């Protein structure tokens, strides 16, 4: 278990309203991972509150974490508004001097971070967890930045063929990881997923 690291609650002002966030920032960090959930938003992410756990691990590796909640929670999610929120978070990190930024999104959030990466050239790498395909079809524009697709083979909400398809149309560098026995939340593979993500961001965000 990770020790509890204190975070800063943020209210990021924008022309469309306030974006709520939690910021875990070790001293002198120049790298950060921004994380968003599915259409229902929140700060915890999938796999039984994976995001706060990742934030604590990243802190010890001198990588900041910005856990961001959408202004609008709706089904189906408002993709353009959610992308806007992520871009507000990215700009906040850049203003702080963060230069190596990675994104993680789950489900609806997978499409959000893919499109945000297409629009924001400052993003170094992106991870899509159990993503939908709707809104993510510009994924072929992310290269040469690396992208990781993760999906559970027992996902009945968004079948693994969603990530298989996105991976097939994405350009290199890219990677696809499918977890046996994992459902949409990926909680059955939580430890393996956590290890995978820590290693991925250490590889692509650590100077």
Residue pLDDT, tens place only, 153-184:
999 999 999 999 999 999 999 999 999 999 99
| Average pLDDT rounded to a whole number, residues 195-207 | 94
- Sorted by where each begins, the domain ranges of the chain are 30-205
Residue pLDDT, tens place only, 31-77:
999 999 999 999 999 999 999 999 999 999 999 999 999 999 988 88
Residue 19 has pLDDT above 80, yes or no: yes
| CATH superfamily, with its number, for domain 30-205 | Alpha/Beta hydrolase fold, catalytic domain (3.40.50.1820)
The predicted pLDDT at position 55 comes to 97
| Average pLDDT rounded to a whole number, residues 136-162 | 98
Q: Which contiguous run of DSSP H or E holds residue 86?
A: helix 79-95
Burial class (CB within 10 angstroms; exposed 0-12, middle 13-18, buried 19+) of 194? middle
Question: Which neighbouring-strand residues pair with 128?
Answer: 105, 149
- C-alpha angle 58-84-183 in degrees, rounded to nearest 5: 55
Question: What percent of the chain is modeled with pLDDT above 90?
Answer: 92
Tokens for 141? 């524009």
**Average pLDDT for the chain:** 96
| Average pLDDT rounded to a whole number, residues 90-109 | 97
């Amino acid at each position: 278990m990770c020790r509890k690291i204190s975070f800063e609650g943020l209210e990021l002002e924008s022309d469309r309203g306030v974006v709520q966030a939690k910021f875990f920032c070790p001293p002198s960090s120049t790298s950060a991972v921004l994380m968003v959930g599915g259409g229902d938003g929140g700060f915890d992410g999938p796999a039984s509150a994976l995001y706060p756990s990742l934030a604590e691990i990243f802190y010890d590796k001198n990588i900041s974490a910005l856990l961001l909640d959408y202004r609008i929670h709706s089904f189906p999610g408002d993709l353009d508004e959610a992308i806007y929120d992520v871009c507000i978070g990215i700009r906040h990190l850049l203003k702080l001097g963060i230069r190596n930024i990675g994104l993680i999104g789950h489900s609806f959030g997978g499409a959000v971070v893919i499109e945000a990466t297409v629009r924001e050239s400052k993003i170094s790498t992106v991870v899509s967890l159990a993503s939908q395909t709707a809104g993510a079809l510009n994924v072929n524009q992310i290269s040469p930045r690396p992208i990781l697709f993760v999906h559970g083979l027992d996902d009945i909400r968004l079948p693994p063929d969603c990530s298989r398809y996105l991976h097939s149309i994405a350009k290199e560098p890219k990677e696809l990881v499918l977890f046996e026995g994992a459902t949409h939340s990926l909680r059955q593979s939580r430890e393996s997923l956590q290890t995978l993500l820590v290693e991925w961001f250490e590889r692509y965000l650590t100077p």
